[in-house]
Structure 1
Amino acid sequence: MEIRSLIHLVPAYLLYVSVPVLHVFSQEIQTTILNDETDAFINQVLAEWNSPGGVSVAVVRKDAQGTWTTETKGYGLATANGSKIDENTLFAIASNSKLFTVLATGSLINNETLSPRLSWTSKIASVIPGWKLMDPIASKQTTILDAMSHRSGLPRHDLMYHWSDKVEDIVQRMKYLRPATEFRDIWQYTNTMYILLSSLPPLLLPSKTPFPQYVKQHFFDPLGMNSTTYSFDLAKSSGKMADGLTRQGLNMSTDPFGNGTLRTFPFWMQDGGENESPLAGAGGIISNALDMATWLQTLLLNGANPKTGNVVFSADILDKAATGITVAAGKAPYPELSPVVYGGGQARSTYRGHELIEHGGNVPGFNSQVSRLPNDNLGVAVLSNDDIYGTYIMEVVKAYILDRALGLEKIDWNSRFKAVASAGANAQPIPTPRPPNATLPSVKLTDLAGTYTNGGYGSFELCLVSPSSNSTTPTSPSCSALASNISIILPGTVDLTLPTFLAEWDSPWASHLRLTHFNGNIFNVSTLTSLPTNDPTEPYWVHGGDAPGGIAESAIDGIGFMDVWGAANGVDSPQGKMVRERAEVWFDRKKA
């Protein structure tokens, strides 16, 4: 779950792409945006990217007389069985859920019945009993504004939360997470702070209303967003839920837009629904283009219901969310764009001289982009179920629609981003070959197997699966079961010629960790997700593990992980003589 925009799709390899400065010539503003020409363009984009899925689009505009024009339409495939996307098709909107979390927090701030009153500058430590961070300054000083604008000093630490967690478990474990920077130093995107904000309604309200129900009661229901929900069960029962689709086995260096094998992601957040889910506040909402059109109108009306005029939330809350606090991107990659500032669940920048407020979202199988130009009374939402290239496709579609709606000369964003995607595929880091004379760790491989624990991340059991343990080496029942089922649940993921450990990992982003020995005490770390195929001859497929990931370094008393915490670009790694000093995450070995 993360912010996605044109700026954030342009990494360092853009330097190798020629980007001419384009002159802007005015075109006639279109009366209908999603017309035959747009349909042909979007379908052509989906074909060129060889997308297994598609997009659903909402466009809203208000004219000088206050009359709304609303258009919604779907393109491409919603499911693996070939059903088509339309305006009713449901998608995970991922981190576009964060704005609802900030608005819910703002409604608590405006709630005069709370005692003591809450404010944007309320210290988290004064609101949530026992809450701390590892950095004592951040622990004392972090406010709601700091939490929502990603400036606490914490990096992502996305592997720290588990499906078995409750929200309060994650909140209380945050004190064990190592910061990557000093407090209020830079913008570092983190989902954990939005998990924290989602704990406030049940904590502060006498009714103890669960967060998803609070959002439903205060936003979805008053706006008539009847298809929008936190519940996968409700979405599935509607018969309108899209599949998250991907292509496994693409050769990213020679044919990044090839066919591969069509795969379906099981929905990423199936438990909890409208009662409680640990990730509801960070990215739990499911919606469609019709409801997103209503939502865009409401945002452009600063919190008023577009059908009734009733105020659903106050304009000052939305203004606080959309006002820049931190710098998310200090430099624009294209002359048509600008740097980006971030408030709370909202990023603010410009597109070709027009002020733009938006946010993106990304979870396994789904992407979303919800954008509005407040000074132009224009809003666009694009939802995608293409896991690999959906983010690029959404940006191409969004920019095309903005150009048409604003009457601007079209820019060929599709060619630009296909070049970026191709360059990115070819720029994938190549794993460093294991030295032919690699030495084994200082601790015997069989002794490295066992249980490890970290206060923030919890515990995991490291199982030696290659070389196979001999009969004289004690192996836990769980490790024996894992080793015997590798070829079924994790096919093709273990090189039996290399010392390899596996660990089960109860996470949205990985079902297993793989540690493959490199040299000495160093192991290469990969996240793997085992997913069902519904094919009895090949019951599981594996997502992840192809590209180099993090590093683990073993020691007598534990193991340290590096390049896994998701710090912002340019942030230095921890330094130190001891492994635990230079580890981003240190796990103590549990004594037998």
Structure 2
Amino acid sequence: MSAAMEFFRSVEFPARVNTLMKEHRTPGLAVAVVQHDEVASMGFGLASLDQAVSVTADTLFDIASCSKALTAASIGLLVDDNENYPDVQYDAIMSKLLPDDFVMPGTGYTENVTVEDILSHRSGMARPRAQQPDDARSVTRNLRNLPVAAPLRTKFQYCNMMYTVATYLIEAKTGQSFSNFLQARFFEPLDMQSTSLQPQSARVKGFGDRIATGYAWNKKKKAYSGFQAPDCPEAQGAGSIITSVNDFIRFLKALINQEGPISKRLYQGLVRMRTFENPNLQWLKPGSSPNMYAAGIEAHFYRGYLVLGHDGCVPGFGSHFFFLPDFKFGCFVAGNAESGATIGTILRKQLIDAVIGVPKLEHWHRNKKNATQPQSKGDLFVSQRLKPSVKRGLAPQNKAKNGQRHSMDSIEPQPQEKPLSTYLGTYWHPGYHTLVLQIENDKLFIDATDRSMGFSLTFDHVHGQTKYTAHMSDFLEGGDVPLDAEFIFEGEKVVKMGLSLDQQLKEMIWFERLEQSLQCTLMEAIGIVGMRSVDSGNVE
């Protein structure tokens, strides 16, 4: 038995996990490890606090962005199949694969963005919120209406939406829904019988009672709030896979051993490093390297050994997987709080130290002062993704950025003088769609819970009857993330509303205020288009 497997089966490991769960407010956690062909797993804590249901290795979790590895592997299957899909290659131009559908704004993007650009977060696209109901095709066709945030291949910019675009490429080329493709090409061959795309699909299969309840810790109330994982069809490919550690470890084992649907060529395409996540080499510690992004998999070196993996965070759920190719060792951690991803990164260090034979006195976890601090920029990304502001692509502090805009924090708030009714109405952006400004509790308010990662905005006046702070609250977790907001007047009439909806963009997103007659026409049109987009997603 290897040192890592020995440690996993020791009394020390569950004690360590339980301590971390308590420190990070994670009600339940499951862990599975694999080395060569040996697999072991166990569960900790509760899947449901209300019903006191224990977590087991078969408990189902939303694994969020850990799903990206399966999406990239799905693309890899098409790349590997030159007989049926000769045009699908990593260096293939997306607009040639999806003519008329894949169109990006600006010069050079539509003509040059490739398959591997969208899989390695270097397309230049920011990460806006989709509006429901959307599907993979409508998300793809909406790219033309969204701003880009950087020149092509110049910067790592994590973009969930491009992974949804990747699933549309799969659907368009195979004639299957992405769900059916995953089922036929991965879930069935790897005997991942409990795994589904979207929570509702798991419930239809009869697994509803095995899905863990997601939890967020409310510091003020000193209590958990619980909620069920929602379906996010417009985010497929970026996340929304529901699985257990016993199931997912089968996929990880296939990656490690390059078996089943994972050929050697497919594996090499997935792990080829394409983008530096932190080219400035900040936050590096001795023994670690910069984080690099391959395709649905992150890579870094620790003490000279390659470590591959990914984390996943959505409200109520956090996960992390990693593997060391040199030792054919891997681990998957899933929890029913976002901090499950943090625990995964901490356990990763301890398990890796055991695998590569680091003396116990040098084990990272023994330094209590650093026990929950990021060791590398890659770990910093994990901790940042746990913050709703960063995870959603919002600017948490609205710091001045390249002189383009400044935070409202430094401005002394002034009283609201204009009637709030002056600002009310429907505001429209072709890419971000509609936002309806209304009054709630004597404040301007937007209910945007119809979106894939729903939120609400409550406005506080700051200066000049035009500048506001919009407080964003997640529709599941709550919270308060301040965003800059601004209104433009023509005479006494509001004509535009600007929101700092993406920290990657230097400028606000500007929404045009619609006339009342246009509002009714637009809302009717959106309803019709929405129905059509849902229908168009039913690809078999």
TM range (shorter): 0.7 to 0.9
Q: How far is the alpha carbon of 1:30 from its aligned partner?
A: 5.7
Out of 71, 85, 88, which is 1:118 matched to? 88
Show the counterpart of 1:101.
71
Q: Quick check: 1:411 aligned with 2:364?
A: yes
1:262-305 CA-partner distances (Å, limit 9, x unpaired): 21022132x6xxxxx22121102111111122122111112x13
Q: Quick check: 1:565 aligned with 2:502?
A: yes
Share of identical aligned residues, percent? 24
Q: How far is the alpha carbon of 1:347 from its aligned partner?
A: 0.8
Show the counterpart of 1:481.
none
Secondary structure, in 3 states, of the residue corresponding to 2:238? helix
1:469-495 CA-partner distances (Å, limit 9, x unpaired): xxxxxxxxxxxxxxxxxxxxxxxxxxx
Q: 2 CA distance for matches of 1:162 and 1:514?
A: 19
Judge conservation of contact 2:327–2:355 (CA < 8 Å) in 1.
Answer: no
Judge conservation of contact 1:52–1:77 (CA < 8 Å) in 2.
Answer: no
Structure 1 residues 28 and 94: alpha-carbon distance in aligned structure 2, compared to 1, 3 A threshold: closer
Judge conservation of contact 1:95–1:359 (CA < 8 Å) in 2.
Answer: yes
Judge conservation of contact 2:7–2:13 (CA < 8 Å) in 1.
Answer: no
Q: 2 CA distance for matches of 1:72 and 1:29?
A: 13
Out of 154, 162, 172, which is 1:185 matched to? 154
Q: How far is the alpha carbon of 1:355 from its aligned partner?
A: 0.9
Show the counterpart of 2:228.
266
Show the counterpart of 1:301.
257
Structure 1 residues 518 and 288: alpha-carbon distance in aligned structure 2, compared to 1, 3 A threshold: same
Structure 1 residues 379 and 324: alpha-carbon distance in aligned structure 2, compared to 1, 3 A threshold: same
Judge conservation of contact 2:397–2:482 (CA < 8 Å) in 1.
Answer: no
Secondary structure, in 3 states, of the residue corresponding to 2:215? strand
Q: 2 CA distance for matches of 1:527 and 1:85?
A: 32
Q: Quick check: 1:90 aligned with 2:26?
A: no
Show the counterpart of 1:588.
512
Q: 2 CA distance for matches of 1:48 and 1:106?
A: 39
Q: 2 CA distance for matches of 1:353 and 1:343?
A: 18
1:168-221 CA-partner distances (Å, limit 9, x unpaired): 11111111111111111111000111010000122122xx21011101101111
Q: Quick check: 1:526 aligned with 2:471?
A: yes
Residue type of the partner of 1:504?
Answer: A
Q: What does residue range 95-494 of structure 1 map to in structure 2 within 5 Å?
A: 95-114=65-84, 117-130=87-100, 131-157=102-128, 159=129, 161-205=130-174, 208-236=175-203, 237-238=206-207, 239-248=209-218, 250-251=219-220, 260-269=222-231, 277-302=233-258, 304-305=259-260, 312-330=261-279, 331=281, 332-387=283-338, 389-408=339-358, 409=360, 410-412=363-365, 415-418=369-372, 432=409, 435=412, 437-438=414-415, 440=417, 445-465=420-440, 467=442
Structure 1 residues 119 and 138: alpha-carbon distance in aligned structure 2, compared to 1, 3 A threshold: same
Q: Which structure has greater helix proportion? A: 2
Judge conservation of contact 1:381–1:398 (CA < 8 Å) in 2.
Answer: no
Show the counterpart of 2:404.
none
Q: 2 CA distance for matches of 1:103 and 1:436?
A: 51
Residue type of the partner of 1:263?
Answer: S
Q: How far is the alpha carbon of 1:109 from its aligned partner?
A: 2.3
Q: Is there any run of 5+ residues in structure 1 with no aligned partner, and where?
A: 1-26, 63-67, 252-258, 272-276, 306-311, 468-498, 532-542, 568-572, 575-581
Structure 1 residues 530 and 324: alpha-carbon distance in aligned structure 2, compared to 1, 3 A threshold: closer
Q: 1 CA distance for matches of 2:191 and 2:5?
A: 29
Secondary structure, in 3 states, of the residue corresponding to 2:237? helix
Secondary structure, in 3 states, of the residue corresponding to 2:77? helix
Structure 1 residues 451 and 30: alpha-carbon distance in aligned structure 2, compared to 1, 3 A threshold: closer
Q: Quick check: 1:508 aligned with 2:452?
A: yes
Secondary structure, in 3 states, of the residue corresponding to 2:189? helix
Give TM-score scaled by structure 1 length.
0.75
Structure 1 residues 523 and 314: alpha-carbon distance in aligned structure 2, compared to 1, 3 A threshold: same
Judge conservation of contact 1:79–1:245 (CA < 8 Å) in 2.
Answer: no
Judge conservation of contact 2:415–2:461 (CA < 8 Å) in 1.
Answer: no
Q: How far is the alpha carbon of 1:591 from its aligned partner?
A: 1.8
Structure 1 residues 70 and 186: alpha-carbon distance in aligned structure 2, compared to 1, 3 A threshold: same
Moved more, 237-246 or 407-416: 407-416
Q: Report the count of equivalent residues.
A: 472
1:528-580 CA-partner distances (Å, limit 9, x unpaired): 2445xxxxxxxxxxx3342x422111113211112x2142xxxxx53xxxxxx
Judge conservation of contact 1:337–1:352 (CA < 8 Å) in 2.
Answer: yes
Judge conservation of contact 1:460–1:505 (CA < 8 Å) in 2.
Answer: no
Structure 1 residues 176 and 78: alpha-carbon distance in aligned structure 2, compared to 1, 3 A threshold: same
Judge conservation of contact 1:321–1:344 (CA < 8 Å) in 2.
Answer: yes
Q: How far is the alpha carbon of 1:117 from its aligned partner?
A: 2.2
Residue type of the partner of 2:230?
Answer: W
Q: 1 CA distance for matches of 2:165 and 2:202?
A: 25
Q: 1 CA distance for matches of 2:103 and 2:471?
A: 30
Judge conservation of contact 2:79–2:85 (CA < 8 Å) in 1.
Answer: no
Residue type of the partner of 2:370?
Answer: R
Moved more, 30-39 or 260-269: 30-39
Give TM-score scaled by structure 2 length.
0.81
Q: How far is the alpha carbon of 1:33 from its aligned partner?
A: 2.1
Judge conservation of contact 2:496–2:511 (CA < 8 Å) in 1.
Answer: yes
Judge conservation of contact 1:510–1:527 (CA < 8 Å) in 2.
Answer: no
Structure 1 residues 43 and 337: alpha-carbon distance in aligned structure 2, compared to 1, 3 A threshold: same
Judge conservation of contact 1:96–1:360 (CA < 8 Å) in 2.
Answer: yes
Judge conservation of contact 2:397–2:483 (CA < 8 Å) in 1.
Answer: no
Q: How far is the alpha carbon of 1:438 from its aligned partner?
A: 4.4
Q: How far is the alpha carbon of 1:415 from its aligned partner?
A: 4.3
Secondary structure, in 3 states, of the residue corresponding to 1:283? coil
Question: Where in structure 1 do 4 or more consecutive aligned residues deviate above 4 Å?
Answer: 27-30, 428-431, 438-441
Q: How far is the alpha carbon of 1:435 from its aligned partner?
A: 2.7
Q: How far is the alpha carbon of 1:108 from its aligned partner?
A: 1.8
Secondary structure, in 3 states, of the residue corresponding to 2:459? strand
Q: What does residue range 64-79 of structure 1 map to in structure 2 within 5 Å?
A: 68-79=37-48
Show the counterpart of 1:55.
29
Q: How far is the alpha carbon of 1:58 from its aligned partner?
A: 0.9
Residue type of the partner of 2:115?
Answer: I
Q: Is there any run of 5+ residues in structure 2 with no aligned partner, and where?
A: 375-379, 387-395, 399-407, 490-494, 517-540
Secondary structure, in 3 states, of the residue corresponding to 1:165? coil
Secondary structure, in 3 states, of the residue corresponding to 2:307? strand
Q: How far is the alpha carbon of 1:120 from its aligned partner?
A: 1.3
1:398-429 CA-partner distances (Å, limit 9, x unpaired): 222222233223222664244679x999xx96
Q: How far is the alpha carbon of 1:60 from its aligned partner?
A: 0.9
Structure 1 residues 36 and 591: alpha-carbon distance in aligned structure 2, compared to 1, 3 A threshold: same
Structure 1 residues 56 and 140: alpha-carbon distance in aligned structure 2, compared to 1, 3 A threshold: same
1:134-191 CA-partner distances (Å, limit 9, x unpaired): 122112110101111111111222x2x1231122111111111111111111110001
Judge conservation of contact 1:323–1:348 (CA < 8 Å) in 2.
Answer: no
Judge conservation of contact 1:33–1:405 (CA < 8 Å) in 2.
Answer: no
